Chains A and B, each alone.
Chain A
Amino acid sequence: MDSRSDSGAGPSGPTGPQTACAGPWWRARFILSGGGALAAVCLLVAAPLNAQGLPDPLTTTPGDPVRGEAIVTDPQHGLCTLCHEGPFPQVPFAGNLGPDLTGVGARRAVPELRQQIVDSRIGNPDTIMPPYYTTDGRERVGARWQGATMLRAQEVEDVVAYLASLTGDMP
């Protein structure tokens, strides 16, 4: 059944190694350690720091949080609310398999949010969250969805912009 794998087919999201020393965690570390040992430490931890995210937007048009909200709250489109509750009372039945999205914009930086949407396996190989913007490593994908990512690049940016706006406390 190897032929059914669509690894490498279609638009592969930018899931490769990212510049590691860009995240907020690193900035804190830089200040604490003073630049001297930084280069060495940065090399050592470069791989795990992929979890720090994707700093570069996927498109040149900035994400639109209003369109992002529409995608997130449409269970047929984003599918997000099948698993996530959040500050969207308009969704009658949200699932609870993933974390509540309330305040996610305060908990997570934009590069991390983008990485989580594009391919959450980078942060957690055992994740149940589907990869939204890569076709890497998928098996037995149905004909209708072969080679297609779950969201388009601009949609990912819209969703990221919406999530980044969710900085409030519990509703």
Chain B
Amino acid sequence: MRRAIVFTVAFLLPGLAWSDDRRTGYDDMNADLQALQDDPMNPATFWVLDGERLWSEPAGTTAQSCADCHGSAEDSMQGVAARYPSFDESSGTAVDLLGRIALCQSRHQQTAQPRDRSDPDRLALLAYVTHQSRGLPIMPDEDPRLAPARARGEALFSSRMGQLNLSCAQCHDDNAGGYLAAARIPQAHPTGYPQYRLEWETIGSLDRRLAGCMTGVRADPFAPGSPELVALELFLKSRAAGLTVEALPIRP
């Protein structure tokens, strides 16, 4: 069944490389960092534990917890992160997992919205929900209503931008494996977000990572949660279909 889905996804997205020479950020790390990630008590684990606590804490004016509606996350959230972004019926737009959690907080718990989309509690919940997909293959949502956003993401991936006038594809497709100063250019598979970056000394979402790359080419980054970033994530997830979800990864 899983194979069939992965096959269909690859088939539905013609032109995408579907080969085994894909490398993840984990593959590109040195043995010390891989060992740090493989350690069950690595720094990212605290965020997962925080999220686990918050999962069953009542919040907002409804005083309901995530668990009140979703039950055990081990069951209800298994595979969810492997499939996101997804389509939100009531807004009629694509939504990423962090956005979905924010929607549950505002619609269902009616919490006051934090100014920062990536507020620490929400990130911890994202970490906990994502953790329920660890080891599963990325299986992009096949909802046809996502196709336009995914196509937009593909176009954005190849759009030159910024003062350096570079597209994502020029580095991550055409020059992956090469060195930008001391840094090996990864293939940019989003196998593990949120992730703990030693550079950040904390965990962060894909939004933050993509903003970093955009600032790197001296472009004006897309806003966190913007349709552009969700579109890019949709495309990146299709490109990474079948690769294993890492939850939570460590990155330099």
Contacts and interface: CB of A to CB of B under 8 A. Distances in A.
A143 B220 contact: yes
B182 to A, nearest CB: 4
Interface residues of B, number: 24
Interface in A112-170: 128, 130-131, 137-145, 148, 150
Central interface residue in B180, B182, B218, by most chain A CB within 10 Å: B218
A62 to B, nearest CB: 27
Nearest to B182: A93
Contacts of A131: 165
B186 to A, nearest CB: 14
A142 B219 contact: yes
A81 interface: yes
B147 interface: no
Interface string A77-102: 00101110000000011111100000
A60 B166 CA distance: 32
- Secondary structure call for the B interface: loop
A96 B178 contact: yes
Nearest to A119: B165
A4 interface: yes
B162 interface: yes
A97 B215 contact: no
B181 A150 contact: no
Contact of B161 (A82, A92, A94, A139): A139
A140 B162 contact: yes
Contact of A130 (B164, B185, B215, B221): B164
Nearest to B219: A140
Central interface residue in B164, B171, B180, B183, by most chain A CB within 10 Å: B164
Central interface residue in B159, B160, B165, B215, by most chain A CB within 10 Å: B165
Contact of B175 (A92, A93, A128, A150): A128
B194 to A, nearest CB: 25
Interface residues of A, number: 26
Contact of B163 (A4, A93, A150): A150
A143 B162 CA distance: 10
A148 B163 contact: yes
B218 A142 contact: yes
B185 to A, nearest CB: 8
B232 to A, nearest CB: 13
A128 B174 contact: yes
Contact of B220 (A81, A140, A148): A140
A130 B165 contact: yes
Contacts of B171: 128
Contacts of A81: 181
Nearest to A136: B165
A141 to B, nearest CB: 5
A13 interface: no
A94 B161 CA distance: 24
A97 B220 contact: no
Interface in B148-205: 159-166, 170-171, 174-175, 178-183, 185
22 contacts: A4-B220, A81-B181, A82-B181, A95-B180, A95-B181, A96-B179, A97-B178, A97-B179, A97-B185, A128-B166, A130-B164, A130-B166, A131-B165, A138-B160, A138-B163, A139-B159, A139-B160, A139-B219, A141-B219, A142-B162, A148-B163, A150-B164
Top 9 nearest A-B pairs (CB, nearest first) are: A93-B182, A145-B163, A130-B164, A140-B161, A95-B179, A142-B220, A145-B218, A140-B219, A95-B180
Interface of B: 159-166, 170-171, 174-175, 178-183, 185, 215, 218-221
